[in-house]
Amino acid sequence: MSVSSIFFFNEDHNYQPKQKRILKSWILDTIKEESHELENLNYIFCSDEYLYKMNVDYLQHDTYTDVITFDNSEKGSKTIVGDIFISIDRIKDNAKSMNLKFEDELHRVIIHGTLHLLGYKDKSKKDEQVMRSKEDYYLSKRLFHVKP
Main-chain phi, psi angles of 143, to 5 degrees: -85, -25
Q: Assess if residue 15 is contained within a domain.
A: yes
Q: What is the pLDDT of residues 93-145, one digit of tens each?
A: 999 999 999 999 999 999 999 999 999 999 999 999 999 999 999 999 986 65
Q: Which has the minimum average pLDDT: 14-23, 35-44, 107-116?
A: 14-23
Q: Assess if residue 147 is contained within a domain.
A: no
Q: Assess if residue 20 is contained within a domain.
A: yes
3-class SS of residue 79: strand
Q: Assess if residue 104 is contained within a domain.
A: yes
Contacts of 107 (CB under 8 A, 6+ apart): 23, 139, 142, 145
Task: State residue 4's pLDDT score.
Answer: 78
Q: Assess if residue 114 is contained within a domain.
A: yes
Please report the sign of the dihedral spanned by the C-alpha atoms of residue 64, residue 70, residue 75, residue 78.
negative
Task: State residue 148's pLDDT score.
Answer: 37
Q: Assess if residue 61 is contained within a domain.
A: yes
pTM (predicted TM-score)? 0.93
Domain region containing 101: 3-139
Q: Assess if residue 145 is contained within a domain.
A: no
Task: State residue 1's pLDDT score.
Answer: 61
CATH code, 45: 3.40.390.30
Q: Assess if residue 148 is contained within a domain.
A: no
Domain count, the chain: 1
